[in-house]
Amino acid sequence: MAEPRGPLMSPGFWLHHAALEWRATVERNLRPLGLTLTQFNLLASAGWLGRRGAELPTQQQVVDMAGADRMMGSRVIRVLEDRALLVRRPDPDDARILRIEVTAEGHDLARRAIRIVVDADLQVFGPDSDALRDQLKSIAARRGGR
């Protein structure tokens, strides 16, 4: 077992603080669009999954891709639906399952928001962040593979 060397030597400590800075930057930059980071993650995930598959994604698939809690995801998706950014429809084969479709307005807003988040990534992580992204992706994959 490794000896503790203090928080300033911990990659987890710095990851936590870097994540706080990234989140604050993204939230600040998304504010003019009227989106929170959670709303953005769910809207962008719904759009991405909707383009990739033959059928509309389920609400649970969208929540899972966004990394959101099931209850929080459901509440935020309801807010996005109230703003006419997406529509929830019962699955034709199982009414307990909700399918998510992003509206034209939702796609437009998501495109604008994605540009903002890409710019925030560049602002926070710099232009040479591929190695960092790959390392973080490898670590995150231990959660169940995204």
Below-70 pLDDT ranges, the chain: 53, 144-146
Structure confidence at residue 96 (pLDDT): 92
Structure confidence at residue 146 (pLDDT): 47
Mean pLDDT score across all residues of the chain: 93
Class of the CATH domain delimited by 34-125:
mainly alpha
Q: Sort residue 117 into left (φ over 0), alpha (ψ -120 to 50) or beta.
A: alpha
| Alpha carbon distance 61, 105 (integer Å) | 21
Half-sphere exposure of residue 70, counting CA atoms within 13 Å on the CB side? 3
Q: How far is CA 81 from the centre of its chain?
A: 17
Query: What predicted TM-score, i.e. pTM, was given to this entire model?
Result: 0.89
Over residues 103-122, the pLDDT tens digits come to 999 999 999 999 999 999 99
**All structural domains of the chain with their residue ranges:** 34-125
Over residues 64-76, the pLDDT tens digits come to 999 999 999 999 9
Cα of first residue to Cα of last residue in the chain, in angstroms, is: 30
CA nearest to 101, candidates 117, 90, 116: 90
Structure confidence at residue 64 (pLDDT): 96
Structure confidence at residue 53 (pLDDT): 66
